[in-house]
Amino acid sequence: MDIRTTITETLTELFEEDDLDVPELVDDLVLLDTELDSLGFAVLVTRLDDELGFDPFSLMDEPVYPVTFGEFVGVYVDHAPESSSAQ
Amino acid sequence: MNSDAPSTGGFPQPSSPGITSASGSFSFESLRRDVRGLRGAVAAGDEVALATTDAGLVAAAIATLDGWADTVHLIGPGAELAVPEIARIRIESLVATDGEPVADDYSGERSTAWVVYSSGTTGEPTPVSHTLSTLSRTVVATAHARRLRWGILYDPTRMAGLQVILQAMASDAPLVAPDFGLRLDQRIGTLIDHGVTALSATPTLWRQVLQLPTPPWPLEQITLGGEIADQMVLDALANRFPDARIVHVFASTETGAAFSVHDGRAGFPVAYLDDAPRGIRLEVRGDILHVLSPGVSVAGDDGFVSTGDVVSIDGDRVSFRGRASGVVNVGGTNVWPEEVETFLRSHPLVSEALVWAVPNALAGNLLTAQVVAAPTDDPELTQGLGKELRKWARQHLANTHVPARVLVVDQLDLSSTGKVTRS
């Protein structure tokens, strides 16, 4: 499964778990316009660490705070270890 | 015990009063006469390390080496590396169970340091130096204790285990001591087989005891210590052992010892802040409970020692909220993992819970929970339990207290002190 699909599925699951409306997960979706709060994204990062085996936010040299869904996926793709990106 | 539990054959019959362990059954009076020959193995004024899981040997050391050795390091599993190189004279291998007394009459004028290693939050064992009198602060000889047959489940080299040993020695009460290295069910089996009627354990251990398929066990005295005793475990023990007097004890390595509560309610009466039992003096400073304990090496200038326990006052009760060092910051909010553990354990499908913080770049920390499902005839009930619990937590707790992950496991990891391990 590629990174984008994993993120989409994990995020959708999180919205459903919290009984929130699932937005259409397109690249220019502004993350904080969704009903998920900042702690929700922290939870997402934890879940993705379990799913993908890495946490880009703890790996990056300079902090990046993605604004849109597309940027969020980009952070993961950019920081993926070799083996993950080939999945 | 259940039929597939290994036999406890070979365990000596208890002598009464005295201590019975796999290394033999000895009256305390005979230990004081040094029948195990410790003063032959340790020169007067020596610094020694006692590395053992046998409470019988610890009792022998207390009976013979106080006032004889300069320093005794008490070493249980995991504390090995923290002991200074100079102290690594092992006495356990030198001690014969039928050793000859070499000095049954000594002045005892030397002030022996007893070094106890506490489990640091960083995992590194921390040495705390005591005297026998600071270790014995709340030990009171009672006729009541003498009528009971005590058991010990704790690591005998740690504070909680030492309290049990010292209490039995002071009261001249019988003590049954299965080796700490054995599995819990084996140790409980030995205690039941040998008619133990009084037992002290951590709330976590008591929850496990409650889950063991034990035969009827006429316990008369139940003591909880070492961790916060929540109302649920107090109530569960009262239901299972209706004839037992249930006491929860507050004692920590830092303070030497402190006080007990026996009204069946979690926390302690707010009146203790003005007038605590047995001349103990308590103060709440910045939400942290302090105990007057001037003889302890970590005491401040005024003799008060921080217990590291965060408390809150609700009406007539002082409640424990968690360890100060255990407080974690989740998204800017202080969270005590123990509070979330207590909450998770209140769910009917949960028997045990462990919550700890995992660093998170976006929130500082997030909580991860481990739970053990309660025994049920319907395994479908526990399917998807992790998700169900998280949803349930969201309905009742602030979002900072909701674990990011809830993992359902077969059993929690316990440290050598019988406490759950927050790693």
Domain ranges, residue A51: 3-85
Report the CATH number at residue A69: 1.10.1200.10
Bond preceding residue B17 cis, omega within 30 of 0: yes
Residue B363 C-alpha, separation from nearest chain A C-alpha, in angstroms: 6
**How many C-beta atoms lie closer than 10 Å to residue B325's C-beta?**
12
Alpha carbon distance B183, B21 (integer Å) = 15
Cβ–Cβ of B363/A50 closer than 8 Å?
no
Average pLDDT over residues A59-76: 84
Residue A58 C-alpha, separation from nearest chain B C-alpha, in angstroms: 6
What burial class does residue B278 get, using C-beta atoms within 10 Å of its C-beta: 0-12 exposed, 13-18 middle, 19+ buried?
exposed
Average pLDDT over residues B370-378: 86
Alpha carbon distance B68, B72 (integer Å) = 10
Q: Which residues of B touch A41 (CB under 8 A)?
A: 362
Cβ–Cβ of B404/A47 closer than 8 Å?
yes
Amino acid, single-letter form, for residue B220: E
Contact B156, B180 (CB under 8 A): yes
Number of domains in chain A: 1
pLDDT at B81: 57
Angle, alpha carbons A48-A50-A52 (nearest 5°): 60
pLDDT at B98: 43
Nearest CA in chain A to B395: A18
Q: Looking at the predicted structure, is the pLDDT value of residue B218 above 90?
A: yes
Q: Touching check for A15 and chain B: CB below 8 Å? A: no
Cβ–Cβ of B399/A37 closer than 8 Å?
yes
Q: Touching check for A58 and chain B: CB below 8 Å? A: yes
Residue of A17, A57, A58 with shortest CB distance to B391:
A17
CA distances, B207 to each of A51, B232, B273, B377, B412 (Å): 33, 10, 29, 20, 11
Cβ–Cβ of B361/A57 closer than 8 Å?
yes
Nearest CA in chain B to A57: B361
> DSSP characters for chain A?
--HHHHHHHHHHHHHHHTT-PPPP--TT-BGGGSS--HHHHHHHHHHHHHHHS--HHHH-SS-----BHHHHHHHHHHH--HHHHT-
Per-residue confidence band for B5, with pLDDT thresholds at 50, 70 and 90:
very low
Q: Looking at the predicted structure, is the pLDDT value of residue B243 above 50?
A: yes
Q: Which residues of B touch A63 (CB under 8 A)?
A: 361
CA B136 to chain centre: 15
Contact B72, B6 (CB under 8 A): no
Residue of A17, A38, A47 with shortest CB distance to B362:
A38
Cβ–Cβ of B360/A47 closer than 8 Å?
no
Cβ–Cβ of A46/B366 closer than 8 Å?
yes
pLDDT at B119: 56
Q: Which residues of B touch A37 (CB under 8 A)?
A: 399
Residue B330 C-alpha, separation from nearest chain A C-alpha, in angstroms: 9
Cβ–Cβ of A46/B390 closer than 8 Å?
no
3-state secondary structure chain B: CCCCCCCCCCCCCCCCCCEEECCEEECHHHHHCCCCCHHHHCCCCCEEEEECCCHHHHHHHHHHHCCCCCEEEEECCCCHHHCCHHHCCECCCCCCCCCCCCCCCCCCCCCCEEEEEECCCCCCCEEEEECHHHHCCCCCCCHHHHHCCEEECCCCCCHHHHHHHHHHHHHCCCEEECCCCCCHHHHHHHHHHCCCCEEEECHHHHHHHHHCCCCCCCCCEEEECCCCCCHHHHHHHHHHCCCCEEEEEECCCCCCCCEEECCCCCCEEHHHHCCCHHHCCEEEECCEEEEECCCCCCCCCCCEEEEEEEEEEECCEEEEEEECCCCEEECCEEECHHHHHHHHHCCCCEEEEEEEEEEECCCEEEEEEEEEECCCCCHHHHCCHHHHHHHHHHHHCCHHHCCCEEEEECCCCECCCCCECCC
Cβ–Cβ of A46/B399 closer than 8 Å?
no
Per-residue confidence band for B83, with pLDDT thresholds at 50, 70 and 90:
low
Residue of A17, A39, A58 with shortest CB distance to B399:
A39
Q: What ipTM, to 2 d.p.?
A: 0.84
Q: Touching check for A46 and chain B: CB below 8 Å? A: yes
Q: Looking at the predicted structure, is the pLDDT value of residue B92 above 60?
A: no
Average pLDDT over residues B345-351: 92
Cβ–Cβ of A42/B331 closer than 8 Å?
yes
Cβ–Cβ of A55/B400 closer than 8 Å?
no
Contact B363, A45 (CB under 8 A): no
Cβ–Cβ of B362/A57 closer than 8 Å?
yes
Tell me the backbone φ, ψ of residue B223, rounded to 5 degrees. -120, 135
Q: Which residues of A touch B331 (CB under 8 A)?
A: 38-39, 42
Highest mean predicted confidence (pLDDT) among A64-68, B199-203, B265-269: B265-269
Cβ–Cβ of A42/B362 closer than 8 Å?
yes
Q: Is B318 left (phi over 0), alpha (psi -120 to 50) or beta?
A: beta
CA B367 to chain centre: 25
Q: Is B65 left (phi over 0), alpha (psi -120 to 50) or beta?
A: alpha
Structure tokens at B135: 């270790």
pLDDT at B103: 46
Angle, alpha carbons B291-B296-B300 (nearest 5°): 65
Residue of B358, B394, B400 with shortest CB distance to A46:
B358
Q: Which residues of B touch A20 (CB under 8 A)?
A: none
Structure tokens at A37: 């709060």
Residue with tokens 């849109």: A68
pLDDT at A74: 94
Cβ–Cβ of B404/A57 closer than 8 Å?
no
Contact B201, B158 (CB under 8 A): no
pTM of the complete model: 0.66
Ordered by where they begin, the domains of chain B are 19-314 (3.40.50.12780), 328-409 (3.30.300.30)
Average pLDDT over residues B211-238: 85
Structure tokens at B224: 């909880």
Nearest CA in chain A to B360: A42
Residue of A17, A46, A50 with shortest CB distance to B360:
A46
